[in-house]
Structure 1
Amino acid sequence: MNLSSSFSQAGSLVRVNAFIRSVYNWMAIGLGLTALTAFYVATTPALLQFIFGNQLVLFGMIIGELGMVFYLSARVQKMSASTATALFVFYSILNGATLASIFIIYTASSIASTFIACALTFGACSIYGMVTKRDLTSMGGFLMMGLMGIIIASLVNMFFRSPGVSMVISYVGVLVFVGLTAYDTQKLKQMALTQPADASGAMVRKGAIMGALSLYLDFINLFIMLLHIFGVSRD
Structure 2
Amino acid sequence: MEEYVKARSTAGIRSEEIDAGLRAHMNKVYGTMSVGMVITALAAWSISGLATTTDQSAAAAALPNGTLLTDLGYAIYASPLRWLIMFAPLIFVFGFSAMINRMSAATAQLVFYAFAAVMGLSISSIFLVYTSFSIVQVFLITSIAFAGLSLWGYTTKKDISGWGSFLIMGVIGLIVAMIVNIFLQSPAIMFAISILGVLIFAGLTAYDTQNIKNTYLQHAFAGDQEWLGKAAIMGALNLYLDFINMFMFLLQLFGNRE
Asked if 1:135 corresponds to 2:141, the answer is no
- Report what 1:103 is aligned to: 127
Q: Deviations over 1:157-206 (max 9, x none)?
A: 11110001100100011110000000000000101212236433x43221
**Unaligned stretches of 5+ in structure 2?**
1-9, 52-69
- Report what 2:211 is aligned to: 187
2:229 and 2:28 map into 1 onto residues whose CA distance is 8
Cα distance 1:83–1:7, how it changes in 2: closer, same or farther (>3 A)? closer
SS at match of 2:166: helix
1:68 and 1:6 map into 2 onto residues whose CA distance is 40
Asked if 1:50 corresponds to 2:75, the answer is yes
Question: Counterparts of 1:191-210 in structure 2 under 5 Å?
Answer: 191-196=215-220, 198-200=223-225, 202-210=226-234
Q: Deviations over 1:26-50 (max 9, x none)?
A: 0001100000000001111343233
1:8 and 1:215 map into 2 onto residues whose CA distance is 29
Between 1 and 2, higher relative CO (CA 8 Å, sep ≥ 6) is seen in 1
Q: Deviations over 1:98-134 (max 9, x none)?
A: 1110000000111010000000000100001000111
- The RMSD of aligned alpha carbons is 1.7
2:171 and 2:89 map into 1 onto residues whose CA distance is 17
- Report what 1:71 is aligned to: 95
Shift of 1:63: 3.6
* Matched residues, number: 229
1:96 and 1:7 map into 2 onto residues whose CA distance is 42
SS at match of 2:124: helix
Match of 1:22 among 22, 28, 35: 28
- Report what 2:105 is aligned to: 81
2:145 and 2:178 map into 1 onto residues whose CA distance is 23
Question: Percent same amino acid at aligned positions?
Answer: 37
Counterpart residue identity of residue 71, structure 1 = G
Match of 1:147 among 167, 171, 177: 171
Match of 1:125 among 106, 130, 149: 149
| Structure (1 or 2) with the greater helix fraction | 1
Q: Which structure is larger by alpha-carbon Rg, 1 or 2?
A: 2
2:248 and 2:87 map into 1 onto residues whose CA distance is 18
